[in-house]
């Protein structure tokens, strides 16, 4: 029996970033390499494929956890309140973060928005 009943994933945004760059490097067989150039040439289907894979990875984590009696708190960054980023890479990442946040919020029992140390329950 596991002694730990609660886990903290801090943070989902960084995990998403790491998965994204790993998947781009694998897609272009670029270990190590200049993924910035690879990202600039990515088409819509390649972007969606990477986003789908990232969402599947997060779904696996959440679905596995839901089959146990353990709890997890997941911290993530809010990315939809700022300006649209200038670079393609930043726009893809911002959109991917948003998709991950939506998935996590949908599957979560509780969702809190925290700003300046103040929290508001939104689900």
Q: What is the CATH number of the domain that holds 53?
A: 3.40.50.300
Quote the strand ranges of 1-123, DSSP E: 6-10, 71-75, 112-115, 118-121
Domain count across the chain: 1
pTM exceeds 0.85, yes or no: yes
Whether 86 is covered by a domain: the verdict is yes
**Alpha-carbon separation of residue 1 from 52, 56, 73, 91 (angstroms):** 34, 27, 20, 43
Whether 109 is covered by a domain: the verdict is yes
Whether 1 is covered by a domain: the verdict is no
**Domain of 42?**
6-121
Q: What is the pLDDT along the chain (123 residues), one digit of tens a residue?
A: 466 678 899 999 999 999 999 999 999 887 666 788 889 999 999 999 999 999 999 999 999 988 988 899 999 999 989 999 999 999 999 999 999 999 999 999 999 999 999 999 999
């Amino acid at each position: 029996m596991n002694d730990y009943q609660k886990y903290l994933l801090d943070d989902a945004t960084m995990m998403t970033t790491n998965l994204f760059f790993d998947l781009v490097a694998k897609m272009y067989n670029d270990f190590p390499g200049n993924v910035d150039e690879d990202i600039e040439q990515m088409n819509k289907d390649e972007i969606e494929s990477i986003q789908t894979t990232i969402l599947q990875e997060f779904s696996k984590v959440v679905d596995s956890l839901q089959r146990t009696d353990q709890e997890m708190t997941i911290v993530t960054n809010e990315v939809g309140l700022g300006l649209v980023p200038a670079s393609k890479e930043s726009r893809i990442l911002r959109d991917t973060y948003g998709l991950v946040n939506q998935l996590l919020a949908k599957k979560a029992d509780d969702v809190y928005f925290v700003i300046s140390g103040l929290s508001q329950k939104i689900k």
